[in-house]
């Protein structure tokens, strides 16, 4: 053990003289120099994961579910590909719990592309593309996505969630302002938090409120980012792109659109929100999307100007310090994108099914919230308990749909959320709505 230095000893003597004078009746003798004091007891919640307050809260919810006799509706094990139907525990279910919007996950051409990529490149690129290099599939996928948005370039990340976290977290900082729709996805919130920018939300799709907020506070910040979703993941309605472009131009802000649920769904060819409104993709500064839904893979992308994309490729931590996309996943998404372009009837079919489900549900008197009749349809139940119970009852009747409960949404907004696929049949929808009418 190191001996205390002279300066340390002198300092300790001085402190003990002062303490002795001030507190001579009550003060404990000062610790010998260099000897650790007995550690104060640290509460268990700081030293044990089983005492973490978040975990304890989870256990309380679990115990309450068990008391109500509810089965856990989460983490079902699917025994094959999940599409409009799925196999769980040997039984076939009508499935509304996967994002296989255009039925391309499990399509023979998509699977074959992934297999060919494994044969040629293996299962991984092992390291960051920046240092370890890339494969032709990476650039082919990025170019195809840039073309969808009519923009200069695109970069793919290995996770959709990380795409938002890393892009927003890297590009913006403490002198900036991030304004987002109140129903924006968690990944945007995490990115905004990481950036250190001021974050403000505006009421869902209330663009007058957004405009007013910008009028009041735009001048206090350097960069301003407005973030919305093409189709909202919990509610199934969409953003008003023309009005957003007008606002962002007037206030000199950047506009970012998360197309996770809009690619493959909106527009005649499934190109998303800009195609739906007939707007040039270059009017939006940052297009973001995921490869896990319509594109049957895993990962996310940012499409926009060359400067934006080049910058992210050399600096965004989630790209620079993370492995490049696995070749079979890049190949699968590229093949799915090509099929989406070649077979627009899939997009039309999905939209027809979405509209049909909405009409049937409304005719049955169910509360479909803000659903616009596309790929996502909520049935609002107003209580987490009701949502879990109804999900379990439907499961018992051969329908797999997930409950969305607090804290993912407000308690009074607890719901079942149906994801539609172009592969669902009208008969499956009629059967499901019939069960909802009977059980809800």
Ligand X SMILES: Cc1ncc(COP(=O)(O)O)c(C=O)c1O
| Residues catalogued as catalytic | 233, 261, 293
CA pair distance 374, 354, nearest whole angstrom: 5
Question: Phi-psi region for residue 428, left (φ > 0), alpha (ψ -120 to 50) or beta?
Answer: alpha
Per CB under 6 A, which of residues 269..308 are in contact with ligand X?
290, 292, 300
Residue in 166, 187, 322, 384 binding ligand X, rule: CB under 6 A: 187
Candidates 159, 205, 391, 428; binder of ligand X (CB under 6 A) is 159
Q: x/- binding map, residues 226-265, to ligand X, per CB under 6 A?
A: ---x---x------------------------x-x-----
| 98, 121 Cβ separation under 8 angstroms | no
* Minimum separation from the CB atom of position 177 to ligand X (A): 21
Interface stretch with ligand X, choices 8-16, 158-166, 240-248, 339-347 (CB under 6 A)? 158-166
Four-point Cα dihedral 358, 361, 367, 368, nearest 10:
-20
Which position among 185, 346, 351, 424 is part of the footprint of ligand X (CB under 6 A)? Answer: 185
121 neighbors 136 (Cβ within 8 angstroms): no
d(CA 236, CA 337): 22
Decide: 434 and 398 in contact? Cβ < 8 Å.
no
Tokens encoding 158: 């290995």
Q: Is 160 in the site for ligand X (CB under 6 A)?
A: yes
State the minimum distance, in angstroms, from the CB of residue 289 to ligand X. 8
Residue 91, beta-bridge partner list: 88
Q: How far is the CB of 315 from ligand X (least distance, A)?
A: 21
Give the whole-angstrom CA distance, residue 58 versus residue 138. 40
C-beta closer to ligand X: residue 300 or 328: 300
CA distances from 237 to 340, 362, 378 (A): 22, 15, 10
Query: Least CB distance from residue 311 to ligand X, whole Å?
Result: 21
The residue among 4 and 317 lying less far from ligand X, judged by its C-beta, is 317
Strand order in the sheet with 376-380: 376-380, 415-419, 402-404
| Axis-axis angle for helices 327-342, 108-121 (nearest 10) | 150
Which CB sits closer to ligand X, 183 or 399? 183
- Closest separation in Å from C-beta 237 to ligand X: 13
Within 10 angstroms of residue 68's Cβ, the number of other Cβ atoms is 10
The alpha carbon of residue 151 and the mean position of all alpha carbons in its chain are separated, in whole angstroms, by 23
10 Å CB burial of residue 339 (0-12, 13-18, 19+) is buried
With CB under 6 A as the contact rule, the residue among 107, 161, 276, 417 that binds ligand X is 161
Of the pair 83, 191, the CB lying nearest ligand X is at 191
Q: How far apart are CA 310 and CA 435, in angstroms?
A: 51
Smallest gap, in angstroms, from Cβ of residue 231 to ligand X?
Answer: 8
CB closer to ligand X, 85 vs 292: 292
CB nearer to ligand X: pick between 221 and 232: 232
Residue 209 CB, nearest distance to ligand X (Å)? Answer: 21
Q: Which stretch binds ligand X (CB under 6 A): 12-20, 154-162, 350-358, 403-411?
A: 154-162
Nearer to ligand X, 159 or 195 (CB): 159
DSSP for 255-320? EEEE-TTTTTTSSTTS--HHHHHT--GGGSSEEEEESSSTT-SS-EEEEE-HHHHHHHHHH-HHHH
Piece of the chain touching ligand X by CB under 6 A; list 155-163, 262-270, 333-341, 427-435: 155-163
- Interface with ligand X (CB under 6 A): 159-161, 164, 185, 187, 229, 233, 258, 260, 290, 292, 300
């Amino acid at each position: 053990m190191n001996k205390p230095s002279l300066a340390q000893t002198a300092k300790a003597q001085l402190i003990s003289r002062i303490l002795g004078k001030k507190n001579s009746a009550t003060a404990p003798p000062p610790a010998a120099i260099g000897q650790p004091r007995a550690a104060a007891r640290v509460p268990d919640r700081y030293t044990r994961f089983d005492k973490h307050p978040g975990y304890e809260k989870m256990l309380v919810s679990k115990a309450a579910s068990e008391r109500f006799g509810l089965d856990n509706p989460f983490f079902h094990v699917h025994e094959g590909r999940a599409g409009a139907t799925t196999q769980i525990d040997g039984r076939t279910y009508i499935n509304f719990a996967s994002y296989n919007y255009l039925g391309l996950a499990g399509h023979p051409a998509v699977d074959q592309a992934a297999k060919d990529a494994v044969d040629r490149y293996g299962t991984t690129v092992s390291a960051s593309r920046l240092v370890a290099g890339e494969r032709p599939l990476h650039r082919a996928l990025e170019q195809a996505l840039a073309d969808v948005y009519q923009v200069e370039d695109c970069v793919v990340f290995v996770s959709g969630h990380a795409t938002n976290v890393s892009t927003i977290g890297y590009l913006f900082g403490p002198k900036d302002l991030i304004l987002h729709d109140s129903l924006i996805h968690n990944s945007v919130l995490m990115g905004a938090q990481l950036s250190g920018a001021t974050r403000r939300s505006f009421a869902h799709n209330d663009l007058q409120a957004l405009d007013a907020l910008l009028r009041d506070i735009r001048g206090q910040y350097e960069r301003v980012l407005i973030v919305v979703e093409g189709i909202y993941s919990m509610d199934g309605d969409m953003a008003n792109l023309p009005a957003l472009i007008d606002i962002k131009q007037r206030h000199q802000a950047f506009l970012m659109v998360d197309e996770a649920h809009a690619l493959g769904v909106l527009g005649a060819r499934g190109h998303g929100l800009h195609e739906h409104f007939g707007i040039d993709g270059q009017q939006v500064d940052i297009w973001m999307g995921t490869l896990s839904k319509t594109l049957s893979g895993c990962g996310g992308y940012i499409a926009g100007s060359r400067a934006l994309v080049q910058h992210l490729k050399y600096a965004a931590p989630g790209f620079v310090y993370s492995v490049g996309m696995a070749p079979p996943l890049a190949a699968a998404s590229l093949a799915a994108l090509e099929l989406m372009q070649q077979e627009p009837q899939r997009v039309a079919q999905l939209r027809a099914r979405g509209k049909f489900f909405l009409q049937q549900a409304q005719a049955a008197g169910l509360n479909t919230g803000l659903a616009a009749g596309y790929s996502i349809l909520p049935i609002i139940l107003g209580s987490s308990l009701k949502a879990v119970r109804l999900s379990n009852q439907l499961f018992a009747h051969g329908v797999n749909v997930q409950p969305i409960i607090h804290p993912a949404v407000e308690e009074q907004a607890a719901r079942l959320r149906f994801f539609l696929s172009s592969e669902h049949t009208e008969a499956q929808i009629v059967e499901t709505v019939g069960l909802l009418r009977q059980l809800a």
